[in-house]
Structure 1
Amino acid sequence: MPICIPSELPAQSVLNEENIFVMDGKRASAQDIRPLEVGILNLMPNKIETEVQILRLLSNTPLQINIDLIRIDEQVPKNTPKAHMDAFYHVFDDVAGKKYDGLIVTGAPLAHLPYEDVKYWNKITTIMDWARRHVQSTLFLCWAAHAAVYHFFGITRQLREEKLSGVYPHYADDPFNELTRGFDDTFYAPHSRYGDIPVATYNDVPDLHVLGASKEAGAYLIGSNDKRMVFITGHPEYDPDTLHQEYVRDVKAGISPAIPQHYYVDNDPQKGFNVTWRSHGTLLFTNWLNYYVYQVTPYDLNALTPPSTEG
């Protein structure tokens, strides 16, 4: 949340130069407060596990948030009971007339499939375009991040021969950006992906800025200049054992995966794992909700307008 200080206090100009959000008493007294409306488009097969992971990160804020769980269509996923989907999820077409303060689009297990071969590609691009008109800020995770960058900017990911898997050290490229506010000089985040887009490729797009990256894992956190889109190529939402479960699954499938890097104690799967990313993940989602959603979204969502670049 912002700090409220007298408008003439000298500290205000210093804080403004550091891009720290401050509010004077007049603006604070005029604020109206209402719950935030946030949608979660869940593309993962195990819906319940992903729901818990994301909702945990959204819950660490004093803001009241109303959540809509959204599905592409009425097809029943293999790893989630139909009763759960029917009880808790909205089909996208049923909420397409609604506007949201924030939208989160999860990853999907579509690592090697060309985008146009994804069975719901036309639908997902329709939703991405819809979000530009109906959502204040959209956060894309992992596969969805690369898919959205491809759709909006024509940037094609490069596929690695071996999956990038592990918990990697990162640095904040712009420590004064609101999204990285409070990050340590080195912070950690899990990655589990085959796709890569170089940092320089993102930064060559005038509307994009890499805010966090890793020397080993590459670009991690990318934001649009207007705060309307955030792309996260890793998994700050992962539970402590998620990478382990993926590794065991791949071993059983005969894929012969590499051991996730910087994850197991002494690099030994029998010794347990180091959990080094959860505080960062919580802070990242809190910053997104506060600075990219709450502080800029209109009180009346009907007043939400498309980005200026779209007219």
Structure 2
Amino acid sequence: MPINIPRELPAGEILKREKIFVMDEDRARTQDIRPLNILILNLMPEKEKTELQLLRLLGNTPIQVNITFLRMATHQSKNASKYHLDNFYTTFEMVKEQRFDGMIITGAPIELLEFEEVNYWDELSKIMDWTKDNVTSVMHICWGAQAALYHHYGIDKHALSKKCFGIFKHTLADPKEDLVRGFDEEFLAPHSRHTGVSKEAIINHPELFLLSKNEEDAPFIIMSKDKKHIMITGHLEYDATTLADEYHRDVAKKLDIDVPKNYFPNDDPNKKPLNTWRSHAHLLFSNWLNYYVYQQTPYVWK
């Protein structure tokens, strides 16, 4: 089934070329069906790239999905055009009286700041509080996951001695959990972050469950026991070249950056990297939409 997106959204043409089933708003209104309403709070600077990454995954399931993009009203994006934001994004004030079946809160390249130093932290806190009664399930990615752990569960992040950057092996604590149905016992996923969260703090928290960790014993997929919040410290949504783009960007800026681990063939940055995590990215998002959103959300919100 398709994802329903604004007619002129630039990602739409790319998705159609990739054979992702896309339906614009006009056609969707003619269908007698109850689609899922998914809100995406896109905090990433290159918004169009993140839109495309997430829409690929949300559009590859049997469930029809309406997408609403949300931006922060208290922060001015430097990388997205005003036209794009005005035409394809809304603000919290415009949606706070609505209810959504699912929500995604992305990462943001601000992890070295204390949470309260982020200029939109107060607004984000209000949104996270609002999700408790107005969203069935929320997926938090990277910095978004750290923000959720801090805001909802009082678990702070800590700086790493070295950037976690590359493709890492991961294992599962419970392969029978619906979120990871179909996952291999060992699977790969990208990470790109300067901060982490305590595995012990998560394991010892009565409301949380550590579902997956990476080969360095760091938390990867964390769930609240009521299954309302899913926190993913890495980036299964990334394209094959995303880490390469980050690496070459930092090299051009003459920053101290290592070659991403287990990423370029023979660790040669001149060679094209392969996407070795795509199937698990699709499984994660389809399982989330099915078991944690579609199977849990009310047909009619009251």
Which bracket does the TM-score occupy, shorter chain normalised? 0.7 to 0.9
Q: Which has the larger radius of gyration?
A: 1
* 1:177 maps to amino acid: E
Moved more, 196-205 or 93-102: 196-205
Separation of aligned partners in 1, 2:75 and 2:207: 36
Alignment match, 1:114:
114
- Percent identical among aligned pairs is 46
Separation of aligned partners in 2, 1:179 and 1:120: 30
* Residue 246 (str. 1) matches residue 246 (str. 2): yes
Separation of aligned partners in 1, 2:137 and 2:122: 21
Separation of aligned partners in 2, 1:60 and 1:301: 25
Aligned residues: 271
* Residue 191 (str. 1) matches residue 191 (str. 2): yes
RMSD between superposed Cα atoms in Å: 1.3
Mapping 1:192-231, distance limit 5 Å = 192-216=192-216, 218-231=218-231
Over residues 124-181 of structure 1, what are the superposed CA-to-partner deviations in whole Å (9 max), with x where a residue is unaligned? 0110000111000000000010011011111111101321100111011110100011
Q: Is the 8 A contact 1:74 1:91 kept in 2?
A: no
Separation of aligned partners in 1, 2:50 and 2:67: 14
Question: Mind listing any 5+ residue stretches in structure 2 that lack a counterpart?
Answer: 1-31
Alignment match, 1:77:
77
Q: Is the 8 A contact 2:75 2:119 kept in 1?
A: no
Separation of aligned partners in 1, 2:257 and 2:74: 34
Separation of aligned partners in 1, 2:216 and 2:241: 22
Alignment match, 1:275:
275
Alignment match, 1:256:
256
Q: Is the 8 A contact 2:158 2:196 kept in 1?
A: yes
* Residue 298 (str. 1) matches residue 288 (str. 2): no
Q: Is the 8 A contact 2:212 2:222 kept in 1?
A: yes
Alignment match, 2:100:
100
Q: Is the 8 A contact 1:164 1:217 kept in 2?
A: no
Separation of aligned partners in 1, 2:42 and 2:301: 23
* TM-score normalized with structure 1 length: 0.85
Q: Secondary structure at the match of 1:126?
A: helix
* TM-score normalized with structure 2 length: 0.87
Alignment match, 1:37:
37
Q: Is the 8 A contact 1:212 1:222 kept in 2?
A: yes
Alignment match, 1:21:
none
Which runs of structure 1 show a deviation greater than 3 angstroms over 4 or more consecutive aligned residues?
none
Q: Is the 8 A contact 2:75 2:120 kept in 1?
A: no
